[in-house]
Chains A and B, each alone.
Chain A
Amino acid sequence: MNEHLSRQFDADLIALRSRVVEMGGLVDEQFRRSVEALATGRAVLADGVIAGDDAVNALDVRIDDACAHIIAKRQPAASDLRMVLGVSKIVSELERIGDKARKIARSVVAVNTTSDGPWIADIERLSEAARHMLRDALNAFVRSDLEAAVMVLRSNRDFARETSQVSNDLVQRYSRNADQVPTMLDMLSVTRAVDRVADHAANIAEHLVYIVRGTDVRHATLEQIEREALTGR
């Protein structure tokens, strides 16, 4: 893409994009630490994640504000407008990933009493996969790479199947013992939070299709999205 006649406008958009990446790095780290706290049972680590959510929220507000200012001052059109609107949506997804990290951190004490090794291992594996998707989605955003965005969406389909399997296993193992049902519900909630992180990463990939193609694919099937993203139709 050529540069704008207004260098300041270019600078504003570059700053906007780099703040998205900065926020992405922050929520990725929050999420990683929340799962580490869960696996190790370290309450201090969990407290750090909970406290760290303020920084995520502050960036959310700051980037959204920057978007509003660009719209007010520059009246962006076409790809510039879609970039600003898309960034605003992506930032909301990142903010929610931050919320999921906080939710996982809050459940550390409750869940850790069970020390369910196999489940912890599943969560560690799934969260690594979800982080991978998040990083791939952010890299796709930086490079406006729709093929990479489609890969993230494909990964999410498989991911949903895996988390659903992990949840089913939990129910099988715990639901017959009434004493353990509250803990099981906490574990299900963590499993679901990890699944949602992957969903948010996939949403970021969908927002990228919107930014690049101008088509809102949030409610389209994967096949429709692939066609739109890769061929523009």
Chain B
Amino acid sequence: MNDEQKKPDPSTLPKKAASQALNFFYGSKQALKNINLPIYDRKVTALIGPSGCGKSTFLRCFNRMHDLYPGTRYEGQIRLYPDDVNLLDKSVDPIEVRMRLSMVFQKPNPFPKSIFENVAYGLRIRGEKRRSVLMDKVEEALKSAALWNEVKDRLDELATTLSGGQQQRLCIARSLASEPELLLFDEPTSALDPIATASIEELIHQLREKITILIVTHNMQQAARVSDFTAYMYLGDLIEFGWTDDVFFRPKEKQTEDYITGRFG
């Protein structure tokens, strides 16, 4: 009833991507059912829901990770803007897709290489050989991932000598170095302690000014803290999507309400 409660109509915002009538099957089992979800440009969108709801499956459609497994099948589209390409189109090379979208996983997975080489890796496989360019890009990525000050004097050390939280920020730096258009986070802090979690969340907060983020999280409070939009999924259906403020304070659907208040059973 007061103005602060009224947020702009999301449909007026520019989109970075959108799933359209997306179905996904593991063999004969349908894991996603007609998902229509906009991903707004330079906003953080959180996917929440109980285990098995399809949130990680949905995230993995974006970088075509399911292509690695036999017997999986997509229907519908995921459009990436502004060029309006369908990421799921057979003619689109999944390697090309993964050049444009980066994924950060649940557990930090640095390569058994130096800190520097981890971040430079994506650039090297794209053919960048100039040391000065690599140096600049690595520094920029590490700064963006809020890790530079901690590692600038030990870039040649093995990445595995870093703490868990540092390793995860290194993986984020590695993702950022290849300048992705969309950053996909699959439970990025579930293996981290509260302090490391807070630093990743702060990082997400800073990154959203530059990049669109889609994050899957089991931690609802995290979704509430870091995201602009929240999508609640259940058994492969998208139940509710809206501004995070609304979803967590005044959800429209009883199923969402039950889930976020811990009444799910």
Contact B249 A2 (CB under 8 A): no
Write out the residue numbers on chain B whose beta carbons fall within 8 Å of the beta carbon of A78: 248-251, 257, 260-261
Distance from A166 Cβ to chain B, minimum over Cβ atoms (Å)? 32
Is the Cβ of A4 less than 8 Å from the Cβ of B263?
yes
Contact assessment for B261 and A76 in the assembled complex, using a CB-CB cutoff below 8 Å:
yes
Interchain CB contact (< 8 A) of A216 among B1, B220, B261: B1
**Contact present for B261 and A220 (CB under 8 Å):** no
> Quick check: A219 and B2 within 8 Å, CB to CB?
yes
CA distance A217 to B2 in the complex (A): 9
- Please tell me the number of chain B residues within 8 Å of chain A, measured between CB atoms: 18
Q: How many residues of A sit at the interface, in one of the four size bands?
A: 20 to 34
Interface residues of A, dominant DSSP: loop
Task: Tell me how many residue pairs across A and B have CB atoms closer than 8 Å.
Answer: 50
- What 0/1 readout, one digit per residue, does chain A (51-85) give for beta carbons within 8 Å of chain B? 00000000000000000000000011111111000
Contact with A along B39-72 (1 / 0, CB 8 A): 0000000000000000000000000000000000
B226 to chain A, nearest CB (A): 15
Binary A-proximity of B223-265 (CB < 8 A = 1, otherwise 0): 0100000000000000000000000111100000110111111
Give per-residue flags for A197-224: 1 if the beta carbon is below 8 A from chain B beta carbons, else 0: 0000000000000000111110110001
Q: How far is the CB of A42 from chain B (nearest CB, A)?
A: 46
The answer to whether B262 touches A6 (Cβ under 8 A) is yes
CB atoms of A5 and B264 under 8 A apart: yes
- Quick one: which of B1, B224, B258 contacts A228, CB cutoff 8 A? B1
On chain A, the residues within 8 Å of B263 by CB distance are 1-5
Tell me the bound Cα distance from A217 to B5 in angstroms. Answer: 12
In the assembled complex, A119 has its CB within 8 A of some CB on chain B: no
Q: Which 10 A-B pairs have the closest CB atoms?
A: A214-B250, A2-B263, A77-B260, A80-B261, A4-B262, A77-B248, A5-B262, A220-B1, A215-B1, A78-B257
Q: Which residues of A line the B interface, CB within 8 A?
A: 1-6, 9, 75-82, 213-217, 219-220, 224, 228
Pick 22 A–B contacts, CB within 8 A, sort by A. Answer: A2-B258, A2-B265, A3-B263, A4-B262, A4-B263, A5-B264, A5-B265, A9-B262, A77-B248, A77-B249, A78-B248, A78-B250, A78-B260, A78-B261, A79-B261, A80-B261, A81-B249, A215-B1, A216-B2, A217-B1, A224-B1, A228-B1
Given contacts A78-B249, A78-B250, A78-B251, 7 further A-B contacts (CB under 8 A): A1-B263, A77-B224, A77-B248, A77-B261, A219-B1, A219-B2, A220-B1
